Amino acid sequence: MEIKIKRFDKELPMPAQQTAGAAAFDLTARQAVEILPGTVGLVNLNIAVETPPGYFMMVAARSSIHKKGLIKPNGIGIIDPDYCGDEDEIRASYYNFTDKPVLIEKGERIAQAVFIPIAKFEWKEVEKLENKNRGGFGTTGKK
């Protein structure tokens, strides 16, 4: 699959899968960003893309980001296929859960992304669901 991509800073590398078995490709910070304790900061990820028809791009934090004291406050980012303009740079938000400022360096691999097919569906409203299985938030594995 070929993806049209625009890099805003051409000195930074193209997004890349770091190993042959990697599912996602890494994204880097376009500039240094300091995130103060207890605040959310936005990080420009140096790319705008034309996602292929029928796909969206999902952006997540790299698994090691918690070591810096950061988490993604919204878990993941969904980049819709119509967010594809020349100035539509992909960004990621991070929450600093520490009591000290956290610095993200320019060029640091800070996020990862994958392209996922969009499943098309139609709702069918019913008065009752026939499935007899019951569950609930946090109930899996309880006897």
How do 76-79 and 102-104 pair as beta strands?
unpaired
Residues 121 and 129: their CA atoms lie apart, in Å, by: 18
User: Which domains, ranges and CATH numbers included, belong to the chain?
Assistant: 4-117 (2.70.40.10)
How large a percentage of the chain has pLDDT more than 90? Answer: 85
This prediction's pTM: 0.85
pLDDT value of position 42: 97
User: What is the edge-to-edge ordering of all strands in the sheet holding 76-79?
Assistant: 25-28, 109-117, 55-61, 76-79
Dump pLDDT digits (tens) for 28-40: 999 999 999 999 9
Quick one: pLDDT band at residue 139, thresholds 50, 70, 90?
low
Contact call for residues 1 and 49 (beta carbons, < 8 A):
no
pLDDT value of position 142: 61
Of 60-64, 83-87, 139-143, the range with the lowest mean pLDDT is 139-143
